[in-house]
Amino acid sequence: MNNDLLQFTESGGCSAKIPPGKLDEILSAFPLPKDKNLLVDISTHDDAAVYRISDDLALVLTTDFFPPVCSDPYEFGQIAAANSISDVYAMGGKPALALNIMMFPSLKLPLSAYAEIMRGASDKAAEAGVMIIGGHTVEDEVPKFGLSVTGFVNPADLVTNTGARPGEVLVLTKAVGTGIVMAGHRAGLASDAELDEAKLSMKLLNMNGARLMSGYGVKGATDITGFGLAGHALKMARASGVTFNIRMKDIPLFSSVYRLADDGCLPGACFTNLSYCEKDIAFHGEDYNLKMIAFDAQTSGGLLLSVPGDKAEDLIAELHQSGELISCIIGEAEELKGKFINLYC
Amino acid sequence: MKKVDTRGKKCPLPIIETRKALKESAPGGPFAVITDNSTSFSNISRFLKDNRIDYSCEENNGTWTFTVNSASGATELTEAENYCEIDPPANEGFAVVISSDEMGSGDPVLGKKLMKSFFIALSCMDIPPRLIVFYNAGVKLAVEEKELAEILSELEVKGTEILFCGTCTDWFKLQGKITVGSISDMFQIVNKLSGYRKVLQP
């Protein structure tokens, strides 16, 4: 038996999501629970659910799991944990407790791989100050792993998809292109070093962005994952009732992404996300590669923050100081006019 | 004709190989791409359409064969340095909507004559339209007017996307008779048109 997790997968990471249109159809049939303490529910398609337990304390609940995105079990554990915890950060919350969710082919993978996945997750969780206090495992053909995470937030500091306002500036804290790089590496078109660049980014916690947000008056934020930059930006613009202008030439990309996209290395999720989102997006410009990169499903991507215009530069400076060197301005929010997103390629 | 066989290959290899064949093929030299995966069929179609590359496709027992005309459209996908500035550029492109087989109202015979002249004038423009959408009686033009069908073919080779409303072609019983452009649906038509700042409707 060998330890390479990728032997099991056709698609990994957030490319494994069910097409969003189909999910919408299913979920729209369910009535939403009504409770005055439910501060954030699925109606705004937010990153986590939020439930108030006292005047100054609310619970933040989220879950994420997926098939392997890399060969090494320890790294997979780290990335899956960072990805799951990120949704709490995207709400301006502090993650605290987690439960493992594991699906494992115990007859085809050595149990040492199981232990390594757990160890990677545990180490990453510890870095975030999160205690993994339990979990559940089932036997499955294809291994999958992630966490169910609970965090805390003061309702006054809550940051949601509905909080972006006209005149604010959009800040992105990580580079884009993990789906394309991983597919490129599997196809033999990206080097190990190029994959490492993407893995390093995927392992990074969105802790600093979350910590700094409230001090800069940020009320609208999300994290970039399976629906791509354009997909998550659209969710936020729609929930906030504004138009986002996004300039793809200002988006930070991993070093191999543009070249790979130009070689046609566009995972199926790019097309699925494009199909789902395009009716709400106005496309400008001619760069097909940049357009498709906007829809590349991300695994453990950065935070997209809507920042009051006069505070953006200072926030970016502080993000850089805290080690988030990629953080930069990628566009702005304006009054809703026409489509929710203007994508300049 | 060169054949790119992507059967049994996992995403995104079919698109990678299609792109490679586009880069390597001689201008004007068509090549075939074969896939046995419906998602790949859908994605390759989308890839070719969005890059304005002329193609046709035949399905046979769960295998799709694309014949790709590499002479058309953007075989050199725009380099990173060439993408546009923040303000919309002057030559952003325009779309044309043809909602009838007559131009204007009042006299149907005059209307049909005017529509013919409109297309002749359109074909002479330095910068042709990016998109032409036909619906309602407009779809009849591609079949009933041979000269017009030729003009449309020439525009398509130059890179104009030509779409016919599927409901309308069925309504007027023109299935299989239109030899240019592609059959579309209201969702795609509305989606594409709404991306244009300039839409011309004769």
DSSP calls for B7-44: TTPPTTHHHHHHHHHHHHSPTT--EEEEE--HHHHHHH
A14 carries an active-site annotation: yes
- pLDDT at A319 exceeding the cut of 80: yes
8 Å CB contact of A278 and B83: no
Token code pair at residue A62:
């989220």
Q: In a 3-state reduction of DSSP, which class is residue A167?
A: coil
Residues of A in contact with B10 (CB under 8 A): 10
- Chain B, nearest residue to A279 by Cα: B191
Decide if pLDDT at B37 tops 70.
Answer: yes
Q: Which of A265-269, B127-131, B197-201 has the highest mean pLDDT?
A: A265-269
In which element (H, E) is residue A284 found? strand A281-284
| Region A230-251 average pLDDT | 96
User: Residue A279 pLDDT more than 80?
Assistant: yes
Among the partner residues A279, A283, A286, nearest to B78 by beta-carbon distance: A286
Please measure the distance between the N-terminal and C-terminal CA atoms of chain A and give it in whole angstroms: 46
Q: Does B50 touch chain A (CB under 8 A)?
A: yes
- Identify the pLDDT of residue B80: 31
Write out the two tokens for B78.
Answer: 């725009």
Kindly state the DSSP code that residue A160 receives in the 8-state scheme.
B
Distances (CA, A) of A65 to A72, A92, A153, A299, B29: 17, 21, 23, 11, 46
- Asked if B47's CB is within 8 angstroms of A11's CB, the reply is no
**Sign of the four-CA dihedral A184, A67, A25, A63:** negative
Q: Is B36 exposed, middle or buried (0-12, 13-18, 19+ CB in 10 A)?
A: middle
Query: Rg of chain A over CA atoms, in angstroms?
Result: 19
3-class secondary structure for A59-93?
A: EEEEEEEECCCCCCHHHHHHHHHHHHHHHHHCCCC
3-state secondary structure of A137: strand
Question: What is the C-alpha to C-alpha distance for residues A64 and B138, in angstroms, rounded to an integer?
Answer: 50
Q: Name the band, by pLDDT with cuts 50, 70 and 90, for residue B72.
A: low
A13: CB partners within 8 A, 6+ apart: A66, A67, A69, A79, A178, A179, A182, A226, A297, A299
Angle (CA) B122-B125-B126 rounded to 5° is 155
Whether A158 contacts A91, CB under 8 Å: yes
Minimum mean pLDDT range among A237-246, A274-283, B50-59, B86-95: B86-95
Could you tell me where the beta strands, DSSP code E, fall in A206-280? 220-223, 242-247
Burial class of residue B146, CB neighbours in 10 A (0-12, 13-18, 19+): exposed
Cα–Cα distance between A266 and B43 in angstroms, integer?
9
Give the model confidence (pLDDT) of B157-171 as tens digits.
777 888 888 888 888
Interchain proximity B10–A264, CB inside 8 Å: no
Lowest mean pLDDT, pick from A289-303, B40-54, B144-158: B144-158
Instruction: Name chain A contacts of B127, Cβ cutoff 8 Å.
Output: none
d(CA A129, CA B143) in angstroms, rounded, equals 69
- Cβ(A73)–Cβ(A111) below 8 Å: no
Question: B16, A11: Cβ pair inside 8 Å?
Answer: no
pLDDT of residue B183: 81
Residue pair A273/A230 in contact (Cβ under 8 Å)? The answer is yes
Q: What is the pLDDT of residues A34-85, one digit of tens each?
A: 888 989 877 777 779 999 999 999 999 999 999 999 999 999 999 999 999 9
Q: Which two tokens stand for residue B192?
A: 């594409």
Strand partners for B54: B69
Around Cβ A227, how many Cβ atoms within 10 Å? 24
Q: Which helix H or strand E contains A27, and what residues bound it?
A: helix A20-27
Q: Does A262 touch chain B (CB under 8 A)?
A: yes
Q: Do A288 and B18 touch (CB under 8 A)?
A: no
Position B49 pLDDT exceeds 90: yes
Which residues on A lie below 8 Å from B39 (Cβ)?
A: 268
Q: Is the pLDDT of residue B78 over 70?
A: no
- Single out the residue of A229, A112, A118 nearest to residue A175, CA to CA: A229
Q: Is the peptide bond before A67 cis (omega within 30 degrees of 0)?
A: no
pLDDT of B28 reads 62
Interface test with A, best of B15, B37, B51 (most A CBs within 10 A): B15
On whether any CB of chain A is under 8 Å from the CB of B56, the answer is no
Instruction: Take residue B46 and report the two structure tokens written for it.
Output: 């989308």
Residue to test with chain A: of B16, B41, B130, most A Cβ within 10 A:
B16
Question: According to the model, what pLDDT value does residue A149 have?
Answer: 98
ipTM of the complex model: 0.85
Chain B contact for A339, CB < 8 A? yes
Rounded Cα–Cα distance for residues A238 and A225 (Å):
17
pLDDT score of B125: 82
State the pLDDT at residue B71. 67
Tokens standing for A323?
Answer: 């080690």
Please say whether the beta carbons of A232 and A225 come within 8 A.
Answer: yes
Supply the mean pLDDT for chain A. 93
**Beta strands A341-344 and A281-284, pairing class:** parallel
Interchain CB contact of B186 with A (< 8 Å): no
Q: Which of A14, A70, A270, A277 is catalytic?
A: A14
* Of residues B16, B51, B86, nearest to A247 (C-beta): B86
pTM of the model: 0.75
What does the buried/exposed string (b/e) look like for A228-253 if buried means 16 or more CB atoms within 10 Å of the residue's CB?
bbbbbbbbbbbbbebbbbbbbbebbb
The secondary structure element, H or E, covering residue A341 is strand A341-344
